[in-house]
Amino acid sequence: MKIIEQSWQFEQKPADALEVLERAARNCYKSEAKIAEGTAETLLKALIRSGHHSVLEHCDVSVRLIIDRAVAMEILRHRIGAAYSMESQRYVSYKASMEFIKPSWYNSDNEMIPFSPEWCLSGMCEEDELCYKKMIREGLKPEDARVILPNCTKTELFMTMNFRAWRHFFELRCSKKAYPQIRKLALDMLQEFYKEWPVLFDDLAEIYIKETKNE
C-alpha cells in the first residue's frame, strides 16, 4: 500500500494555438490580411477582455491526471467542451501494491500517532487493500470487489478540453470556494497553462495565483 501525491502532465498541446485562434477570429471579419507578428496576442487579449470566448473553442489541450476518485467525480461534472477516459475499477484488477492519493490535509509527521487523521487514513487504506485482494483471491471479479475501495483510491483520468472550457474549469476550481484537493491541483495546472499560453490565461493567473501568494 502506498500513499502518493496527486499529479498531472500534458499529453497533447497545440503547437500553433494562437495562430489557429487568430485565423478563426479573423474569418468572422475577413481581416486575414492584417495578420502579422504579434497580432494574435493583441487580438486574443481583446476578445477575452470583451467576453467573446467562442473562438477559444477551436483548440484542445489534453492532460493525464493522477488523482483520487473524489476529485475525479468533481472534474467529470465539466461536460461542455470536454472529453474523458478514466481508469476503470470494473476491469482493472489491483493485484500489485495499491496506491491511494494523499489528501491536502495529510501531514506525514502525524502518520504514526494513534487516532490522528493520518493514522486513520493509513490504517483504513491498508485494511481495504487486504480485504480487496482477499475478495479477488476468493473468486470475486474486480467489479464486485471495488465496492469496498475508498474515495482516496488513485485513478488516472485522460482529459481533453478546449481553451474556453479550460478557462471555465480554472475559474471554478481555483476559487477559494473549491474543494481544497481539487483547488491545489487546479492552481498547479493554471501556472503551467499560463507559462505555455500567457495571453490566454494571464487574467486568471493575475487573480488566482496572486491570491494564493497573499494567503
Chain segment 177-210, per-residue pLDDT in tens? 999 999 999 999 999 999 999 999 999 999 998 7
**pLDDT per residue over 128-175, tens digit each?**
999 999 999 999 999 999 999 999 999 999 999 999 999 999 999 999
Contact 100, 125 (CB under 8 A): yes
**pLDDT per residue over 49-85, tens digit each?**
999 999 999 999 999 999 999 999 999 999 999 999 9
The whole-model pTM stands at 0.92
DSSP 130-164: HHHHHHHHTT--HHHHGGG--TTBEEEEEEEEEHH
pLDDT number for residue 113: 75
For the chain, which residues make up each domain, given as ranges? 1-161
Distance CA 10, CA 155 (A): 16
Distance CA 208, CA 215 (A): 11
Looking at domain 1-161, its CATH class is: alpha beta
